[in-house]
Amino acid sequence: GAMAPVGGSGRRSPARDDGLISEKVYVDEVEMPFRPNFLPEHEDGLPSDLEVFVRGLPRNCAERDLWEYLYQFGATDVKEILLLRRQKVSKGMAYIVFNRHDHAVLAKHKLHGCPAAQVPCGGQLPSPADAPGYLLARFSESERCINGRSCIYGTDMVGLLLGTRGKCMEQVKDASGLRKVLLTGRSMRSFGQVDEDPRLHMVVFYEAHEAENVTRAVEVWGKQLGDIHRELVEKAGKGMERGGPMPFPPMHMPPPHFMDPMMGKGGLPPPPMAPGMMGGPRPPMAPQAPPVDPATFEAPVLMQRQKLALAEEGESRVPSGPKVLEATCLRGRELRWQPWPDTTRFNEEYAMVPMRWGQKGELFALLRKRETGELRVCAADMHLPAERWPVLSTPATFSKTAKHRTFTFNEHLFVISIDRQTGGLTVFHVPDPSAAWSPAFQTTLPERPEDAEGLQGLSRAAKLCVIYAPDKSPHVLAVEPEGGNDGAASVFRIADPGQPWSRCAHAPAL
């Protein structure tokens, strides 16, 4: 975005209002939690998608740094790079235009979820402190809006964002307190004005002391865009009910919602589905995923058993004896139960947390020895006893009193570790099941929830369960054993694995 006093020596703004400051706000700068990208036909876009938007770049990353980084992994057919700035300071955002769609797809996949500290700046890698977090990369919303009904949404996005007779822009102006708001872009007139920037953006006008109103305008515009995206998703859903293809995430991604078969032992991603199992034509999978033979399709089943003790008449039976890990699978089109492998002492000694799906449909699991806290990352094989599962890595960071949960963020795997004794909470980034764990976020939790500060009411005794919103953003449901009826449950949103979690306003009543 650019800021310039109107009426100065530079080029005047479209509105020509003397004494005001004008600033550009691009549509891709707003939050898009409901953007319909979880539908598989949207993941790699259309041939007309040639522009990629990236946010989360290091602040000292220049256009040439990004261009050289793209060349390293083969996205070489770059036409233009526009780095967004405000008052000559980088916003950490950029538009990248390619001449070829396949290079845009490659760049999107390589950049999305990449640690910001891996992007060289001036020939050197920045420190994690100078470049925290992870990159977000998606096809440009601006390009899709400007392309009209030929875009992947199949609707006039500009018309919806503008509203009847510019009603939506008037709402942004009134709600934010800005002096004037115009919507403009390539081949588009906004109240008789047009500027030279081809991308869809608002031009906002305000007095020098009203700069904070721009932030409010971005929030209002984001809400308007979110309502449009949700409407698109609802219409797509109705089309599926009439026989269209079912939305289905790639096999290595977590689901929007999934019931935990292990009674709170971390969310288990959905297994890859066989052709025809859900009805309708089979949607496209991730490019590297091989087709699944329905005759050999298998859905792993993992559970933890514990015997119930005998009870006197009128009394409830309570769990008794050791907890035993057991595993089998459902096989074929009919999902027939397969035999349960024999259990041994090993199944009593180890607890299990599912981690993620591999690109070929394999399930990776984290096993923790109850007595020592020793960890091992395994490739779960439902036809073998658990002690014979191939061990991919043995993380060196473990504690006897630690509990673990896993989640995926932008297709990257993360492990949450809470040490019940010391209160240490660490979010580890796991680049690959066989790779070393790298701490992304650390804090210390108090013994009681009322003493918590950084995570707003989360104690070291909280029991966690990871759930996913429809936009695939991970959330953590935390239940406090000593929380009483009020405040016993809290829901946190993980907007960035390297930052503190944001507590949601609503939580289930317990």
Point out which residues pair with 489 in neighbouring strands: 479
At residue 73, does pLDDT exceed 60? yes
Query: What pLDDT sits at residue 253?
Result: 38
The full 3-state SS of 456-490, as one line of letters, equals CCCCCCCEEEEEECCCCCEEEEEECCCCCCCCCEE
For the sheet with 474-479, list strands across it. 463-468, 474-479, 489-493, 502-503
Whether the CB-CB separation of 420 and 400 falls below 8 Å is answered with: no
Per-state percent for the chain, helix, strand, coil, to nearest 5: 20, 30, 50
At residue 348, does pLDDT exceed 80? yes
Query: What pLDDT sits at residue 483?
Result: 61
Give the pLDDT band of residue 171 (cuts 50, 70, 90): very high
DSSP string, 392-437: EE--S---TTEEEEEEEETTEEEEEEEETTT-EEEEEEESSTTSPP
Query: What pLDDT sits at residue 486?
Result: 55
Q: Check residue 184 and give left, alpha or beta (phi > 0: left; psi -120 to 50: alpha).
A: beta
Task: State the CB neighbour count (10 A cutoff) for residue 235.
Answer: 13
Mean pLDDT of 435-459: 79
pTM: 0.49
Query: What pLDDT sits at residue 508?
Result: 75
The string of pLDDT tens digits covering residues 269-303 is 443 333 333 333 333 333 344 444 554 567 788 88
Query: What pLDDT sits at residue 37?
Result: 56
Q: Which of 203, 225, 199 is nearest to 214 (CA)?
A: 203
DSSP element (H, E) containing 167: helix 167-176
**Alpha helix positions (H), 272-430:** 345-349
Query: What pLDDT sits at residue 14?
Result: 39
At residue 235, does pLDDT exceed 90? no
The residues, any chain, with a CB within 8 Å of residue 224's CB and separated by 6 or more, are 161, 168, 171, 172
Q: How far apart are CA 226 and CA 218, in angstroms?
A: 12
Give the pLDDT band of residue 316 (cuts 50, 70, 90): confident
**Whole-number average pLDDT of the chain:** 78
Higher pLDDT, 241 or 432: 432
Query: What pLDDT sits at residue 469?
Result: 87
Higher pLDDT, 191 or 331: 331
- Domain borders along the chain are 19-31+150-238, 50-139, 345-503
Query: What pLDDT sits at residue 233?
Result: 73
At residue 176, does pLDDT exceed 50? yes
Q: How far apart are CA 206 and CA 467, in angstroms?
A: 41
Lowest mean pLDDT among 15-19, 415-419, 493-497: 15-19
Query: What pLDDT sits at residue 412?
Result: 84
DSSP element (H, E) containing 321: strand 319-331
Classified as helix, coil or strand, 221 is: helix
The residues, any chain, with a CB within 8 Å of residue 234's CB and separated by 6 or more, are none
Mean pLDDT of 90-102: 93
Query: What pLDDT sits at residue 254?
Result: 39
Mean pLDDT of 31-52: 72
Whether the CB-CB separation of 25 and 216 falls below 8 Å is answered with: no
Q: Do domains 19-31+150-238 and 50-139 have the same CATH topology?
A: no
The domain made up of 345-503 is a member of CATH 2.40.30.130 = no
Q: How many residues are present in the chain?
A: 510
Give the pLDDT band of residue 189 (cuts 50, 70, 90): low
CATH class (in words) of the domain with range 50-139:
alpha beta
Higher pLDDT, 223 or 7: 223
Q: How far apart are CA 46 and CA 27, in angstroms?
A: 20
Q: Please work out, in degrees rounded to the nearest 5, the angle formed at the alpha carbon of residue 457 by the alpha carbons of 130 and 416.
A: 55
In CATH terms, 19-31+150-238 corresponds, of 3.90.480.20, 3.50.30.30, 3.40.50.2300, 3.30.1370.10, to: 3.30.1370.10
Lowest mean pLDDT among 120-124, 271-275, 359-363, 455-459: 271-275
Q: How far apart are CA 198 and CA 158, in angstroms?
A: 13
Lowest mean pLDDT among 103-117, 300-314, 375-389, 415-429: 300-314
Higher pLDDT, 402 or 272: 402
Structure-token pair, residue 344 = 């041994």
The proportion of the chain whose per-residue pLDDT surpasses 90, expressed as a percent, equals: 27
Whether the CB-CB separation of 38 and 247 falls below 8 Å is answered with: yes
